[in-house]
Structure 1
């Protein structure tokens, strides 16, 4: 049993490290988003210029930040939560709520997103879908692929939460977290 808890601890650390790395990398895209937006406004109002690829890049960057940052946000427990009951619970009760919520809500929903978006993404790859706008970015299929990455990273982070709560609840002598 101790081997299982040790495996859970190592796996949790690996998953958390992956999502930490992805989240920190993606956070820099917000700076790029601001700079590109600034350039668009500057070009439009000072020089009466606009480029479709620059404007579409805002949508792409915004999508990347939200989709690839979701697991990082979950890792840091920063998603919206109804805290009316949760905030008053003991740490053990919170661990049970997190464990059951992960098992019965997070993992099924993330799995459904992965399953239901698979065909959508593959269809986009089959035709190498590009922008409908003239001169737009020709890589919509890559953006749509982030649906699969998002759900995969959420599933991994959900498994990390699940394993860490199992260790916390059933192996109190083992260092967790």
Structure 2
């Protein structure tokens, strides 16, 4: 579990850096466009790349922090044991299959993007779109890893 904490701490820091890039990049684009009358496609691409990466990586971070979206109508009324069972079933029946399928489906897209070192679809835009698309593999890999660790941790836990 120590390795998972270290990895997710690093991913969390990357997300914070990406959020700063999105904010400052968007602010500079707006100021340049409306105050100075010009803009740079490279800054726009950097903001788009950072935002796409932020969205993908923050899903894994929120899942690890147990802050993801839930539809919990009765969760507050249930015991801790019942909630753990529901979480176990959700991890086993929903999270694991969905993110394994996502990993499987995204692999060909990312592989072909890396094969051509895909860049921006805009003429004169930034190269490196293939790096952003790699987040489509990192996200499900992190969630699957975390889910498996949770499931194994539950199996190892002694009943109280």
Q: TM-score range by the shorter chain?
A: over 0.9
Stretches of structure 2 that go unaligned for 5 or more consecutive residues are none
1:116 maps to 2:105? yes
Counterparts of 1:4-15 in structure 2, within 5 Å, are 12-15=1-4
Counterpart secondary structure, 1:84: coil
**Inter-partner Cα distance in structure 1 for 2:112 and 2:14:** 28
The alignment's TM-score, normalised by the length of structure 2, stands at: 0.92
SS in 1 for 2:9: helix
Aligned to 1:49: 38
Report deviation, 1:98. Answer: 0.7
Aligned residues: 160
Give unpaired runs (5+ residues) of structure 1: 1-11
Does the Cα contact within 8 Å between 2:60 and 2:139 map onto a contact in 1? yes
Using the size of structure 1 for normalisation, the TM-score is 0.84
Shift of 1:172: 4.3
Whose RCO is larger (CA < 8 A, sep 6+)?
A: 1
Residue of 5, 8, 24 corresponding to 1:35: 24
Superposed displacement of residue 16, structure 1: 2.9
- The correspondence for 1:105, drawn from 73, 94, 103, is 94
1:60 corresponds to 2:78: no
1:92 equivalent in alignment to 2:81 = yes
Structure 1's consecutive aligned runs of 4 or more residues displaced over 2 angstroms after TM superposition are 163-168
Tell whether the 8 Å contact from 1:36 to 1:54 is kept in structure 2 after alignment.
yes
